């Protein structure tokens, strides 16, 4: 019996279909660097909470970011099953909080833990609903705001962005050392 591959929906925004999680993460960071992705997510979140103000960014840019984050979330869900392939047992010398981002020392050593924790608490559909909510509420002016909890998924998504960047960097370093 053949294993069914999950569609990570990367065709629309990246131009290529990637059936495995790590190439989707690499494609995500080719289109959005970490600082820009976190800033854009932060801005969307702020405008979604304000309600009566619309985000000034071009809606097509927000939509493209939404599509790429959808694939990112689906790739992260597939990544949670991976072993500690990207874990490190010794931290590099410059162990500063800027290098670790929002990750704890344990998560920095094994970034897959971030995805396991996030998807233990929320299903992928809940993350996709959160994403749809913040896009919807940031692109329009509304008197009401999202009824669901949008802070906790936001924090998990920020940590997932940091962890995914680490995984991509460590994979690049592994490829260069061989």
Query: How much is the pTM?
Result: 0.84
Beta strands in the chain (DSSP E): none
Range of the domain at 21: 11-83+97-177
5 within domain boundaries: no
91 within domain boundaries: no
90 within domain boundaries: no
Radius of gyration of the chain (CA): 17
2 within domain boundaries: no
d(CA 19, CA 120): 23
Per-residue pLDDT, 117 = 94
1 within domain boundaries: no
How far, CA to CA in Å, does 96 sit from each of 19, 35, 108, 165? 35, 17, 11, 16
% of the chain with per-residue pLDDT over 70: 74
d(CA 8, CA 109): 26
Q: List, for residues 114-123, the tens digit of each pLDDT value.
A: 999 999 999 9
Number of domains in the chain: 1
d(CA 61, CA 65): 6
How far, CA to CA in Å, does 60 sit from each of 3, 9, 98, 125? 35, 17, 31, 23
89 within domain boundaries: no
* In contact, 35 and 79? CB cutoff 8 Å: no
Q: List, for residues 59-109, the tens digit of each pLDDT value.
A: 889 999 999 999 999 999 988 877 656 555 555 544 555 567 788 888 888
Work out the mean pLDDT of the chain and round it to a whole number.
81
Which residue would you say has higher pLDDT here, 124 or 52? 124
Nearest to 41 by CA among 123, 150, 116, 149: 150
């Amino acid at each position: 019996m053949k294993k069914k591959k999950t569609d990570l929906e990367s065709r629309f925004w990246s131009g290529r279909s990637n059936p495995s999680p790590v190439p989707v993460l690499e494609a995500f960071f080719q289109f959005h660097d970490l600082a820009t992705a976190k800033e854009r997510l932060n801005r969307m979140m702020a405008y979604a909470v304000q309600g009566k103000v619309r985000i000034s960014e071009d809606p097509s840019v927000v939509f493209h970011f939404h599509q790429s984050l959808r694939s990112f979330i689906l790739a992260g869900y597939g990544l949670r099953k991976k072993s500690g392939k990207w874990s490190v047992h010794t931290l590099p010398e410059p162990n500063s909080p800027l290098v670790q981002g929002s990750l704890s020392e344990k998560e920095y050593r094994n970034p897959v833990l971030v995805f396991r924790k996030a998807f233990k608490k929320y299903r992928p559909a809940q993350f996709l609903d959160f994403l749809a909510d913040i896009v919807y509420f940031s692109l329009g002016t509304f008197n009401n705001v999202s009824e669901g909890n949008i802070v906790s998924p936001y924090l998990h998504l920020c940590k997932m962005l940091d962890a995914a960047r680490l995984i991509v960097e460590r994979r690049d370093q592994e490829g260069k050392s061989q």
